[in-house]
Amino acid sequence: MKALIIVDVQNDFLENGSLAVPNGNQIIPIINEIQNDFDLIVVTQDWHPSDHKSFAKEHPGKKEFETIDLNGLEQVLWPVHCVQGSFGAEFHQELNTNSVEAIFRKGMDPEIDSYSGFFDNGKRKNTGLFGYLKDRKVSEVFVCGLAADFCVYFTAQDALDLGFQTTILKEATKPINEENWKIIQKKFQENGGEII
Ligand code: VGL
Ligand code: ZN
């Protein structure tokens, strides 16, 4: 069984959003078009409390996109984004979610960020996505959405580590940082992942 994981296609990561990914809107029609090719579609949703410690405003004197140590993990400080219940946290209205069977939310614990749809960044808590995919007899996972160099990559790398044959759909994702994304793609392929 082939599953498509659509990562964080939420208003804050799109045009006029607080953490807009360059050209992010271009992937929405592509994601809508490819959905027929999969047996199962799930989505992830970044879902932060308003005082999440990944937000730069929680660290006086620190700037957005600076890196700090947060409870022992390296943490990039982000603009406020995807706050629970806000418009920015909603899926983009052009994303077709009719065939989406389940939504996996992440990033609710204010003390730790959660890029992957499977676990938080410290692998302290499991979202249940692994059990769900196993239960649905999934063997192949395809990952698309935003952002390529953060949540898409971490989700795909975890899928690979968990034993799924894993592919990142390059035309259906966009990075925050192109240089970072080039390095990550190489690393992901060396780890046994596919990028098509
Ligand atoms: C993401 C930064 C912070 C993402 C989420 O979806 O890639 N990036 N939170
Ligand atoms: Zn986030």
Considering the domain boundaries, does residue 161 fall inside one? yes
Considering the domain boundaries, does residue 72 fall inside one? no
What is the rounded radius of gyration, in angstroms, for the C-alpha atoms of the chain? 16
Average pLDDT over residues 36-44: 98
**Cα gap 74→137, rounded to integer Å:** 35
**Cα gap 36→98, rounded to integer Å:** 11
pLDDT for res 18:
98
pLDDT for res 115:
98
Give the percent of the chain with pLDDT over 70. 100
pLDDT for res 92:
98
Considering the domain boundaries, does residue 58 fall inside one? no
Considering the domain boundaries, does residue 56 fall inside one? no
Q: Of the residues 27, 105, 150, which should be mutated to test ligand 1's pocket, given the most ligand atoms within 8 Å of the CB?
A: 150
pLDDT for res 17:
98
47 lines ligand 1 (CB under 6 A): no
Considering the domain boundaries, does residue 64 fall inside one? no
46 lines ligand 1 (CB under 6 A): yes
Largest CA distance in the chain: 49
Considering the domain boundaries, does residue 158 fall inside one? yes
The overall average pLDDT reported for the chain is 98
**Domain at 152, CATH number:** 3.40.50.850
Q: Evaluate the CA torsion angle 48, 132, 101, 194 in order and state its sign.
A: positive
Among this protein's residues, is 120 annotated catalytic? no
pLDDT for res 37:
97
43 lines ligand 1 (CB under 6 A): no
194-195/67-70 β-pairing:
unpaired
Considering the domain boundaries, does residue 24 fall inside one? yes
pLDDT for res 125:
95
Query: What is the distance in A from the centroid of ligand 2 to the CA of 13?
Result: 10
User: 90-104: per-residue pLDDT in tens?
Assistant: 999 999 999 999 999
Burial per residue of 62-93, b for 16 or more beta-carbon CB atoms within 10 angstroms, e otherwise: eeeeeeeebeeeebbbbebbbbeebebbebbe
Domain total in the chain: 1
Residues of the domain holding 165: 2-47+85-195
